[in-house]
Amino acid sequence: MTQAGSEAGQRSVGTAQVASIGECMIELSKSGNGLFSLAYGGDSLNSAVYLARLGISVDYVTALGDDPWSEEMVRGWQAEGIGTERVVRVPGRQPGLYIIDIGDKGERRFHYWRQTSAARLLFALPETPDISAALLEYDLIYLTGVSLSLYEEAGRARLFDVLDRARDQGRRVAFDTNFRPRGWPTRETAQLAFREALQRSDIVLASSEDLELLFGKDGVRELPVSNPDVEVVLKMPEPMVHIHHAGEKHLVPGDPIQAVVDTTAAGDSFAASYLAARLTGAGVVEAARMGHRLAGVVVCHRGAIIPRSAMPPDMLQEIRSRGETR
């Protein structure tokens, strides 16, 4: 999200309510001549922004400090149409920070300073019981592998308990397998947490790259593709996804992209588009195609959040039209 935020979000479509759990950090990226530009970002926040822009009602669930950067983040989220009622403020804490280093081919590397960020305390605060109870009210809870890495073992246990209770009440859980090794104390800890999350997911948005990095060359075998009740979307290195849903498998290619500028938030925008399409009644193949379309636009811009004017207007209209008829 840019420092100044953006214009107010559009009216939500349909009735689905989404909670996106995670962390937003201060983002610094090289802008030339040795200077850095300031923005805000994080995988689950990026997805929340794109969900809101696509007309989905979404709240961001996190903890922030009482500093000026936290204040600016909240104002920016509200300007994008994201709900902030589930943002806990922790006196004396601040957001984390990361720097993006972009390679010659648009590939990015991240350097983090986040060990004392407020977001890491979300499931270890006096407000945690209220947040846990509130999460049971949402139709869909969205979280990522990065979300899991924020919390200590006890905090993850509280989160998993919330997911269990939510699913018992007919709510759904979507899990994106974003894996960042530096966020974890050991690979074994990450493997255990990912397996716990996969067992509690109704929709899995996976990346073969993430799974191989975490579990080894056969990492995709960790996915619950044999369970017809779980919707598995596996993104491959080439613009292609494999979908396992209701006992069927689909291959959905994306269009080649000639001028990749920055791959930041490619997966986050794909996830948002896919979920927005599914929440408004699209089939899995159509949803994947829409995910490819938005991700293809995002990678042609620098930064995680593209200008609102760059959002594909036909896709916005399609999702809104479908949602309004549900």
**Within the chain, what is the greatest distance between any pair of CA atoms?**
54
Query: What are the distances in angstroms from CA 13 to CA 16, 87, 170, 172?
Result: 8, 23, 21, 19
CA 56 to CA 120: how far, in whole Å?
26
Three-state SS for 210? helix
Give 306-320 as a DSSP string: --GGGS-HHHHHHHH
CA 177 to CA 143: how far, in whole Å?
9
CA 80 to CA 48: how far, in whole Å?
9
Give 185-205 as a DSSP string: S-HHHHHHHHHHHHHT-SEEE
Q: What angle do CA 300, 302, 243 make, to 5 degrees?
A: 55
Give the residue carrying structure tokens 């759990």: 21
Residue from 130, 176, 268, 314 carrying the catalytic annotation: 268
Give the residue carrying structure tokens 């081919």: 105
Q: Are 85 and 131 spatial neighbours (Cβ–Cβ below 8 Å)? A: no
Instruction: Tell me, yes or no, if 268 is annotated catalytic.
Output: yes
Q: Are 280 and 319 spatial neighbours (Cβ–Cβ below 8 Å)? A: yes
- List, by residue number, the catalytic residues: 268
